Structure 1
Amino acid sequence: MVETVSFRNKEVEIAGHLHLPENFNAEKKYPALVGIHPAGGVKEQTIGHYAKRLAEHGFVAVVYDSSYQGASGGEPRLLEDPTTRVEDARCAADFLTTLPFVDSDRMGVFGICAGGGYAISVAQTERRFKAVATVSAAPMGEGSRGFLGHLSPVAEQIGTLEMVAQQRTAEAGGAQPLYAPFVPETLEEINESTPDLLREGYDYYRTPRGQHPNSKGRFLLTSMDKMFAFSAFDQIPELLTQPLLLIAGSKADTKVFSDQAYELSKGPKELFVVDGATHIALYDVPEYVDQAIPKMAEFFAVL
């Protein structure tokens, strides 16, 4: 069962889907989950697939398009603002607490790719989330300041920020916005040196496998200063005391981020490695998703 729902993050209306368990009974109280989609993604893609599967295990799960993206409101369009993304998750929790069939004391959060980074970030300061799980976690702050765990030289980072500053000035004067792709936009951009994350990202987001008209696969260039200023991992050792489940593929080039989060956490934690899976394979390949879902259902049973 899926219901179309909406809630607000300040003045922005957020478009969501509420996944309900089979044989749903509105007189009962259910544990509930907030699901956070990857950067450039929307609720109808992998995050919605995971929400549907988790609902089959007895959870109420809400997924949504982030502010400025997909079917949600907000201007400028395609802004990737990590602070707002974290607040979206808080507002999703607010929404769940208004539902009479949700047990507000039994809420968790999960995310995929960048959504995994945001799930870790929001759980550090949102105590209504009693547990947090990630799939192919990729924190946007740490990821933007480098690539796949390798920090970019400071001069290169400053160069990017100088470019963003110039673009902001240009747009303030009436220039058209510029966008940067999350994944290659054409097959011709892919060659033998293209990382698996980007190669498979094209296959998921740019082909019928996973493409959706609301998922543009790019972000506003002026998002970069906000991404550089953000860290999903900075307070893990002190504030992330809730149980943490990190799911990563053994062949994922982003597994380094799950490894880092695991090392930083001082609370209850588990790193569940799916043998043979890459970053994107955990989005929708049954062989691997069928391992991740039962693990998450077992983990969230602590709620």
Structure 2
Amino acid sequence: MAQDNYIFELAENVTRTPVTYETRYGIEIAADLYKPADFDESKRYPALIVGAPYGGVKEQGPGVYANQLAQKGFVVLTFDPSFNGNSGGYPRHLSSPDVFVEDFMAAVDFLGTRDFVEREKIGAIGICGSGGFALSAAKVDPRIKAVATTSMYDISRMQKLGMNDSMSDEERQKSLKQIAEQRYADFEAASPALTGRGAPLDWDDDAPQAAQEFGSFYSRPRGYHPNSITQFTVTSTPSWMNFALLDDLDWLAGRPILLIAGEIAHSLYFSEDVYEAAAEPKELFVIPKATHVDLYDKTDVIPFDKLVNFFKTAFE
């Protein structure tokens, strides 16, 4: 494993600086700012925000992306989501659609107030669940000039309908009843109950594809980080059911979307459905033989040249 729990080695021609800032909720965000090694403080650079997969932290996939994109001349900000990683917020591991979307807008606040960032050239990249958060933020924050997603998940849809929209009304009502009872228990407990791990420690060949992929990343040296437990508070779920992240995509009002997904990813349908719903300009870029988790860290699979060209064109 790379030094300090980063799952990659920092390139020689990139610098990384820890930074902190607050969201509008007063939560302190722990972030990393990546710059090209030949960075000139007197110049103004295009900037990108990279959000972590749902359950992930900045030292994993976001850092992999930032390490590559800073070499292409971008200033790149990665961050731990509120309530998770080294960011503030209590109770720990709470999951909130409004707050996770705010995390992206607070990142724009930070970048847009740096003298070396060109305010009209700020874009966002969302990996997995952050793809939905980035798009949702951009709908209402025109400072985000372009959005790219990789292996996108719509967490609100998944919590409401289940994977592949498979949850029945009866199952949903049963789940909501159990969660409602859990609120009583949490109210009287020292800390709230957490969901089971999204990334199992062990699995057999009959386990769902998603569980096997997440386990092979988060629960193995490949992507392991002690702050990435892939668990959230049980009582977070109803907020997602009640919050439609990706309605009104036409509010992007001409700002471009790039949706990148693996051909054999279990999550491909999320990107396909957003592509159908979104207005132009938009592009769905499917990578042959790639899985969902391949786009977290495999630098030979992630289409960095595509991302660079997308944002450079968007910023022209």
Range class of TM-score, shorter chain: over 0.9
Most deviating of 36-45 and 146-155: 146-155
| 2:153 aligned counterpart, secondary structure | coil
**CA-to-partner distance for each residue in 1:256-284, whole Å, 9 max, x for gaps?**
00000000011200011111100001112
Q: Do 1:40 and 1:182's aligned partners in 2 also have CA atoms closer than 8 Å? A: no
**CA-to-partner distance for each residue in 1:181-225, whole Å, 9 max, x for gaps?**
3524321xx233322221010011011111111111211111101
- Matches of 1:67 and 1:101 in 2, distance apart? 26
Q: Do 1:32 and 1:60's aligned partners in 2 also have CA atoms closer than 8 Å? A: yes
Out of 272, 292, 295, the residue aligned to residue 279 of structure 1 is: 292
CA displacement at 1:33 relative to structure 2: 1.0
Out of 13, 33, 42, the residue aligned to residue 27 of structure 1 is: 42
Q: Which amino acid aligns with 1:216?
A: I
Unaligned runs of 5+ in 1: none
2:248 is equivalent to residue 206 of structure 1: no
Q: Which amino acid aligns with 1:199?
A: Q
Q: Do 1:7 and 1:13's aligned partners in 2 also have CA atoms closer than 8 Å? A: yes
Q: Do 1:123 and 1:240's aligned partners in 2 also have CA atoms closer than 8 Å? A: no
Q: Which amino acid aligns with 2:70?
A: A
CA displacement at 1:94 relative to structure 2: 0.2
- Matches of 2:277 and 2:213 in 1, distance apart? 29
- Matches of 1:107 and 1:176 in 2, distance apart? 38
CA displacement at 1:39 relative to structure 2: 1.1
Structure (1/2) with the larger strand percentage: 1
CA displacement at 1:179 relative to structure 2: 1.0
Q: Which amino acid aligns with 2:237?
A: M
2:155 is equivalent to residue 144 of structure 1: no
CA displacement at 1:175 relative to structure 2: 6.2
2:308 is equivalent to residue 297 of structure 1: yes
| 1:124 aligned counterpart, secondary structure | helix
Once the two structures are superposed, the pairs formed by residues 146-165 of structure 1 within 5 Å of their partners are: 146-165=161-180
2:194 is equivalent to residue 179 of structure 1: yes
Work out the number of aligned pairs and report it.
Answer: 299
Identical pairs, percent: 38
Q: Do 1:145 and 1:151's aligned partners in 2 also have CA atoms closer than 8 Å? A: no
| 1:85 aligned counterpart, secondary structure | helix
Q: Do 2:140 and 2:251's aligned partners in 1 also have CA atoms closer than 8 Å? A: no
CA displacement at 1:147 relative to structure 2: 3.2
- Matches of 1:286 and 1:87 in 2, distance apart? 29
2:244 is equivalent to residue 231 of structure 1: yes
Q: Do 2:159 and 2:241's aligned partners in 1 also have CA atoms closer than 8 Å? A: yes
TM superposition score normalised by structure 2 = 0.91
Once the two structures are superposed, the pairs formed by residues 1-303 of structure 1 within 5 Å of their partners are: 1-9=15-23, 10-174=25-189, 176-187=191-202, 190-239=203-252, 241-289=254-302, 292-301=303-312, 302-303=314-315
Q: Which amino acid aligns with 2:187?
A: A
TM superposition score normalised by structure 1 = 0.95
**CA-to-partner distance for each residue in 1:234-266, whole Å, 9 max, x for gaps?**
111344531000000001010000000000011
Q: Do 1:37 and 1:113's aligned partners in 2 also have CA atoms closer than 8 Å? A: yes
Q: Do 1:140 and 1:231's aligned partners in 2 also have CA atoms closer than 8 Å? A: no
| 2:76 aligned counterpart, secondary structure | strand
| 1:172 aligned counterpart, secondary structure | helix
CA displacement at 1:177 relative to structure 2: 2.0
Let me know the Cα RMSD of the aligned residues: 1.4
- Matches of 2:99 and 2:17 in 1, distance apart? 24
Q: Do 1:249 and 1:274's aligned partners in 2 also have CA atoms closer than 8 Å? A: yes
Question: Relative to 1, partners in 2 of residues 1:111 and 1:130: Cα closer, same or farther, differing over 3 Å?
Answer: same
- Matches of 2:248 and 2:50 in 1, distance apart? 21
Q: Which amino acid aligns with 1:299?
A: F
Q: Do 2:200 and 2:211's aligned partners in 1 also have CA atoms closer than 8 Å? A: no
Unaligned runs of 5+ in 2: 1-14
